[in-house]
Amino acid sequence: MVNVALPKGRLGDNVYELFAKAGYRCPEIENPGRRLTFENPEAGIRYFWVKPSDVAIYVEKGAADIGVAGKDILLEYSPDVYELLDVGLGKCRMAVAAPKDFRDDPKKTLRVATKFPKIAKKYYSSVGRDIDIIKLNGSIELAPILGLSDVIVDIVETGATLRQNNLEVYETLFDISARLIANKASSRFKRDEITKIKTSLKEAGKL
Ligand code: PRP
């Protein structure tokens, strides 16, 4: 049995559809109720829904053999896992965003609100800019509106959240998509099963 950590939410729904198309359908998951684990013994697969930012932890620790996590999470937490495949879902970008009239004043320390402190620090250190990080866990766009920060470092997908809050992209840092990741020990002990899943996903998603 291969244990798969799926990111709860819209990305996870799309990832499950890809697994289903690849031959790993699990009827139980289509009518979940409040359950969190679902298995299809014939297909040799067990799924569980976890918070998207926790997928990498489950996989790193071996609670899941494989999982699907955004490149943003992999860059922020640097989990000790193998990255097997870009599944081509969850496409978005990491960006610095700010109010439309924002002008950076290099004499002042820049206040940066973000869920991704490591990514933000790395970027600003690469351009030699002094910053203060304000670590938030969600609704990051509020920070500059309320004067808590000057800019944000966050994910932009459609740009609707920025637009509706009078913010705009100031600088794009990198593109993001979801990746199939694997636990290192599982990659040895369940090599054939994991390779088969990876190959089937590639075919199903034309990746
Ligand atoms: C993410 C991100 C932005 C939004 C971007 O938030 O932090 O707020 O999506 O998407 P858009 O460009 O399509 O508007 P998420 O939905 O994960 O919620 P959060 O506020 O809890 O971070």
Q: What is the pLDDT of residue 32?
A: 77
| pTM (2 d.p.) | 0.93
Distance 42 CA to ligand 1 centre (A): 37
- HSE on the CB side for 115, CA within 13 Å? 15
Integer Cα distance of 22 and 158 in angstroms: 28
Question: How far is CA 171 from each of CA 126, 131, 133, 207, rounded to the nearest angstrom?
Answer: 14, 16, 17, 29
181 has a pLDDT exceeding 90: yes
Tokens of 176: 């993001």
Backbone phi and psi for residue 135, each to the nearest 5 degrees, phi listed first: -85, 120
Tokens linked to 99:
């109010």
Expressed in angstroms and rounded, the spacing between residue 196 Cα and the centre of ligand 1 is 33
Output the pLDDT for position 103: 94
Q: Are strands 82-86 and 178-182 parallel, antiparallel or unpaired?
A: antiparallel
> Tokens standing for 68?
């699907």
The H or E element containing residue 155 is: strand 151-156
Sheet of strand 110-114: strand arrangement: 131-135, 110-114, 151-156, 92-99, 167-176
Of 10, 72, 161, 173, the one to substitute when testing ligand 1's pocket (max ligand atoms within 8 A of C-beta) is 161
Higher pLDDT, 119 or 35: 119
Lowest mean pLDDT among 23-32, 87-96, 148-157, 173-182: 23-32
Distance 161 CA to ligand 1 centre (A): 7
Are 52 and 73 in contact by the 8 Å Cβ rule? The answer is: yes
Span 138-161, mean pLDDT?
A: 97
Atom of ligand 1 nearest to the CA of 52: 17
